[in-house]
Amino acid sequence: MKKRIITVSGVEVAIASRHEQDYICLTDMLKAKDGNFFISDWLRNRNTVEFLGIWESIYNPDFNYGEFATIKSQAGLNSYKLSVKEWTEKTHAIGLYATTGRYGGTYAHKDIAFEFGMWISAEFKLYLIREFQRLKDEEARSTSLEWNFQRTLAKVNYKIHTDAIKEHLIPPRLSKLQAGTVYAS
């Protein structure tokens, strides 16, 4: 899994690719919020659960609506707690995932991560979007430069290859018509 890092309001935030989509590390983003907050605090909010349910219904054909309805009915209650692991296991969600270990963390699809950024602060969300877009523009530029370089290299090599075929692979004793047939084949 390829990870890239952006810096948002002085906080380094990892971005991972999964299923050809960008997922942003919520664990890293949480470092920008004052106080002791956890992702489970965000997940217990009724508006958050509704947003996640709508996102999953749009992008996830295997989403478990039955479990979602149960979770949604309990969301917002003081006694209610929900972890990312529970959310993904019960609803078959694809928008969030958690990894364990030294470099583990909770990751969210960019759409969900931007919404999480609003929970941290409106200012943080705007800087997150700006830095993410800067990263995507930079990646697009480097891909474009690489493609142009390969195109130019292929153009130069084409002339070298065709000249080499004409000079070294076509016997000189052939007529012009026969040489054209040999060259084409």
Residue 104, pLDDT score: 84
Domain ranges of the chain: 3-140, 142-184
Q: In what order do the strands lie in the sheet with 21-25?
A: 3-8, 11-18, 21-25, 105-109, 96-99
Residue 159, pLDDT score: 76
* Maximal C-alpha separation, the chain: 93
pLDDT tens track for 1-35: 568 889 998 999 999 999 889 999 999 999 888 77
Residue 1, pLDDT score: 53
Residue 141, pLDDT score: 80
Task: Pick the closest to residue 29 from 115, 156, 142 (CA basis).
Answer: 115
Q: What percent of the chain has pLDDT over 70?
A: 91
Distance of CA 179 to the CA centre of its chain: 53
Type of residue found at 102: R
Confidence of residue 183 (pLDDT cuts 50, 70, 90): low
pLDDT tens track for 61-111: 999 999 999 999 998 888 888 999 999 999 999 999 998 888 789 999 999
For the cut 70, the answer to whether the pLDDT of residue 168 exceeds it is no
Q: Which residues contact 129 (CB under 8 A, 6 or more apart)?
A: 114, 117
Residue 66, pLDDT score: 94
> Are residues 165 and 179 in contact, defined by beta-carbon separation less than 8 angstroms?
no
Type of residue found at 176: K
